[in-house]
C-alpha cells in the first residue's frame, strides 16, 4: 500500500521543498506519466517527471536536468503551467509545473520507473499524489476560454457559429441578457453543436440546469460561488467560477471548483466602472491558490504568453476571440 509508512512529525516551520515537474506532450497531444518507486515519498503513485531543485538552480534549470536524468530527453520548449504549494503530513512542497511542448530524444525510465503516454482525459483514472489534482486539471484545460455573451438570440447564434469555426475548444454560455425562454432555446442550439465539434461547454446558469441540459458543466457567478460550501456537481461534470478578489479565489479553492476566472485584468468595455487589477495583483492572488486561473478583462488571444508568465492557465474573453484567434 502506498503512503502507509509512519510520517515523521512536521513542525510549522519545516522548510518548503522546491520541486520542478514537466507535463510532457507528444505530437498527438498525449502526456507522459511515470510511476514513483515504492520506497520514495508518495511512492507507488504516478507522477509528472521531475524532482527537487538543487541549490542555486532555477525551476526551469532543474526541470531540464531532471528530465535528462530521469528520462534521457532534452526539453527544448517549456511554458509555465501551474505553480502550487501543498502540505503533506510529513513534507511541505512547492511544485513548479511546466508544459513541455518540444523535446529531443526518446523518453525511457532511466531509474527503472514505468512510464506511459496517456490522453489528457485519461489522467483522472490514475492514482497521483494529493498535490496533483489541480495539475491534472490544468493539463486537461486549454489556453483559451471563450465566453459567449450579448443580446438577441439570432445574433448570439451567429456569434456561436463563428466561434466554433475558430477552433476554440472550451466555451462558457453566458448570455445573461436573454429571457429564460430564449436562453433555453440557445442552450438547445449550443449543446449538440458543441458536442459535434468536440467543444467543452459550461453553462453560466443554475447547476441543475447545466446538469440536465447535456452541457459538460457549470460556470458559477461569484454570487452563486459564495452561496456554496461544496461543489454543486461531481466529476465528470466541470465546475468553474468567476472571481474578482483574493477571498473569492480562496472560496473557490475551498469549494473544490476545477478552475476559476479572475477579472478584470485590464480596463474592459463590458465593465467600464470596474478598477482593473493589473498583472502584478493578478499574479499575487493567483499565487495564493492551488487552482488553474484564467485571466479575463480587456485581453486578446495574443496576450496568452504574458498571462502564463503571470501564473495564469490562459486567457478568457468575450470580445477579441472572434478576430485573429488561432488556437494551437
Ligand atoms: N516529480 C514529481 N514530484 C511530485 C509530484 N507530485 C508531488 O506531490 N511530488 C512531490 C513528491 C516528492 O515529495 C517531491 C519530488 O521529489 P523527488 O523524490 O521526485 O525528487 P528527486 O527526483 O529530486 O529525487 P531524489 O534525487 O531525491 O531521488 O515532490 C509530481 O507530479 N512529480
Ligand atoms: Mg523525481
Q: What are residue 189's phi and psi, to 5 degrees?
A: -75, -40
Residue 117 contacts residue 76 (beta carbons within 8 Å)? no
Whether residue 160 has pLDDT greater than 60: yes
Going by C-alpha positions, the residue among 142, 178, 149 that lies closest to residue 320 is: 149
* 222 within ligand 1 shell (Cβ under 6 A): no
On whether the CB atoms of residues 51 and 71 are closer than 8 A, the answer is: no
| Residue 275 in this model has a pLDDT that exceeds 80 | yes
CA 74 – CA 63 distance, rounded (Å): 10
> Is 0.95 exceeded by the ipTM?
yes
Of residues 193 and 325, the one with the higher pLDDT is 193
pLDDT score recorded for residue 328: 46
Q: Render pLDDT for 227-251 as a digit per residue (tens, 0 to 9).
A: 999 999 999 999 999 999 999 999 9
Which of 10, 23, 51, 71 most suits a substitution to test ligand 1, by most atoms within 8 Å of the C-beta? 51
Domain limits, the chain: 16-140, 144-317
pLDDT at 7 over 80: no
User: What are the CA-CA distances from residue 39 to residues 3, 22, 67, 136 (Å)?
Assistant: 10, 22, 20, 24
The CATH number of the domain covering residues in 16-140: 3.90.79.10
- pLDDT reading at 221 higher than 70: yes
Assess whether the C-beta atom of 256 lies below 6 angstroms from ligand 1.
no
For the chain, percent of residues with pLDDT exceeding 70: 94
**Gap between the Cα atoms of 266 and 134, Å rounded:** 26
- Residue 134 Cβ inside 6 Å of ligand 1? The answer reads no
Tell me the per-residue pLDDT of 172-189, one tens digit each, with 9 for 90 and over.
999 988 999 999 999 999
Q: What is the mean pLDDT of residues 301-321?
A: 91
Q: Is 101 helix (H, G, I), strand (E, B) or coil?
A: strand
| The CATH number, out of the four listed (3.20.20.70, 1.10.260.40, 2.60.120.260, 3.40.50.720), of the domain defined by the range 144-317 | 3.20.20.70
For residue 95, what is the enclosing H or E element?
Answer: strand 91-104
29 by DSSP, 3-state: which? coil
Q: How many residues does the chain have?
A: 328
CA 248/CA 251 separation, integer angstroms: 5
Residue-wise pLDDT for 107-151, tens only, equals 999 999 999 999 999 999 999 999 999 999 999 999 999 999 988
Q: Which atom of ligand 1 is nearest to the CA of 69?
A: 22
Peptide bond into 85 cis (omega under 30): no
pLDDT per position as a tens digit, 50-100: 999 999 999 999 999 999 999 999 999 999 999 999 999 999 999 999 999
Q: Give the model's pLDDT for residue 260.
A: 98
- Per-residue cell: 99: 508544459
Determine the distance from the C-alpha atom of residue 123 to the mean position of all C-alpha atoms in its chain, rounded to a whole number. Answer: 13
Mean of pLDDT values over 211-239: 98
Is the pLDDT at 1 greater than 50, yes or no? no
Average of per-residue pLDDT values in the chain: 93
Question: Are 169 and 142 spatial neighbours (Cβ–Cβ below 8 Å)?
Answer: yes
Amino acid at each position: 500500500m502506498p503512503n502507509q509508512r509512519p510520517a515523521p512529525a512536521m513542525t510549522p516551520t519545516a522548510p518548503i521543498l522546491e520541486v520542478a515537474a514537466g507535463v510532457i506532450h507528444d505530437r498527438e497531444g498525449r502526456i507522459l506519466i511515470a510511476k514513483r518507486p515504492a520506497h520514495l515519498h508518495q511512492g507507488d503513485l504516478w507522477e509528472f517527471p521531475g524532482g527537487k531543485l538543487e541549490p542555486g538552480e532555477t525551476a526551469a534549470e532543474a526541470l531540464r536536468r531532471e528530465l535528462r536524468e530521469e528520462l534521457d530527453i532534452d526539453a527544448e520548449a517549456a511554458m509555465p503551467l501551474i505553480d502550487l504549494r501543498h502540505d503533506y503530513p510529513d513534507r511541505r512542497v512547492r511544485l513548479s509545473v511546466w508544459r513541455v511542448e518540444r523535446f529531443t530524444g526518446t523518453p525511457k525510465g532511466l531509474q527503472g520507473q514505468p512510464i506511459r503516454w496517456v490522453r489528457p482525459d485519461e489522467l483522472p483514472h490514475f492514482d497521483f499524489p494529493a498535490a496533483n489534482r489541480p495539475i491534472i486539471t490544468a493539463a486537461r484545460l486549454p489556453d483559451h476560454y471563450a465566453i459567449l455573451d450579448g443580446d438577441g438570440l439570432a445574433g448570439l447564434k451567429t456569434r456561436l457559429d463563428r466561434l466554433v469555426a475558430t477552433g476554440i475548444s472550451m466555451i462558457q454560455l453566458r448570455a445573461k441578457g436573454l429571457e429564460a425562454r430564449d436562453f433555453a432555446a440557445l442552450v438547445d442550439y449550443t449543446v449538440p453543436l458543441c458536442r459535434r465539434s468536440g467543444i467543452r461547454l459550461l453553462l453560466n446558469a443554475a447547476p441543475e440546469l447545466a446538469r440536465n441540459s447535456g452541457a459538460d458543466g457549470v460556470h458559477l457567478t461569484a454570487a452563486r460561488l459564495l452561496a456554496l460550501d461544496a461543489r454543486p456537481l461531481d466529476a465528470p461534470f466541470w465546475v468553474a467560477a468567476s472571481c474578482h478578489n483574493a477571498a473569492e479565489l480562496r472560496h473557490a479553492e475551498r469549494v473544490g471548483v476545477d478552475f476559476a476566472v479572475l477579472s478584470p485584468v485590464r480596463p474592459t468595455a463590458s465593465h467600464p466602472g470596474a478598477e482593473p487589477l493589473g498583472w502584478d495583483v493578478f499574479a499575487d492572488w493567483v499565487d495564493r491558490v492551488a487552482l488553474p486561473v484564467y485571466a479575463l478583462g480587456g485581453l486578446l488571444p495574443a496576450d496568452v504568453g504574458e498571462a502564463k508568465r503571470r501564473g495564469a492557465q490562459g486567457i478568457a474573453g468575450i470580445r477579441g476571440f472572434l478576430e485573429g484567434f488561432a488556437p494551437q
